[in-house]
Amino acid sequence: MKAIYLTGFMGAGKTTIGKRLGEVLQLPVIDTDAYIEQQVGKTIATIFAEEGEEAFRAYEREVLKKLPTEHIVITTGGGIVIQEENRQFMRKHGIVIYLHCELHELFRRLMGDTTRPLLMENKKSQMKQLFEQRLPWYHEAHITIDTTNRTVNDIVETIVSLLKSSRF
């Protein structure tokens, strides 16, 4: 089986759904952000603060190419899709699943989150702008699943069903 790449905006449920999907499919799960933190020895927030977003995006590109492309679930950072190179790589080497969540629900989920470097001030307008900017790139995925108001198990069951019935 090709790698399964979960994409989507921050708060859409990529990490949580990825863990559960890995359990159900009996596949290892790697989170690109956690992997970068482990490799670099800094948190994402620290990388942004000390090295900038451009450096972080370079780490993201490097990590994506290092990871296995078969028999694995890879949960990605919300901004991995902004680089054309990353979108092409994921589409070529795996099954890209966009986890969509409505903006009002993302606001609710991320309201108290202080760990997101791109959302430090004026969260709602920043989120809306980033969300709208990235939406066309998210829609390049092979499969789109709406996570708004759905349980993790329901979403995972849908993904498994689609994977079994698809050409992947």
Read off the pLDDT band of 151 (50, 70, 90): very high
Tell me which residue range forms the domain holding 158.
3-166
Read off the pLDDT band of 106 (50, 70, 90): confident
**Is the entire prediction scored with pTM above 0.85?**
yes
Q: Which of 13-22, 55-64, 78-87, 120-129 has the lowest mean pLDDT?
A: 120-129
On whether 33 is known to bind a ligand per the annotation, the reply is yes
Q: Report the pLDDT averaged over residues 73-98.
A: 97
Residue 76: give its domain's CATH number.
Answer: 3.40.50.300
pLDDT over 90, % of the chain = 79
In the prediction, which pLDDT does 123 show?
67
Q: Report the pLDDT averaged over residues 59-74.
A: 97
On whether 128 is known to bind a ligand per the annotation, the reply is no
* φ, ψ for residue 73, nearest 5 deg: -110, 125
> How far are the Cα atoms of 12, 21, 87, 153 from residue 156, in angstroms, in the given order?
13, 6, 22, 5
On whether 78 is known to bind a ligand per the annotation, the reply is yes
Cβ neighbours of residue 151 under 8 Å, at least 6 residues apart?
A: none
Nearest Cα neighbor of 14 from 166, 138, 165 is 138
On whether 91 is known to bind a ligand per the annotation, the reply is no
Q: How far apart are the C-alpha atoms of 130 and 126, rounded to whole Å?
A: 6
Whether pLDDT at 122 is above 60: no
Q: Token digits for 151?
A: 């349980």
Tokens 């920043």 map to which residue? 126
Q: How far apart are the C-alpha atoms of 78 and 120, rounded to whole Å?
A: 16
Total structural domains in the chain? 1
In the prediction, which pLDDT does 28 show?
98
Whether pLDDT at 49 is above 80: yes
On whether 16 is known to bind a ligand per the annotation, the reply is yes
CB atoms within 10 A of CB 4: 26
In the prediction, which pLDDT does 105 show?
87
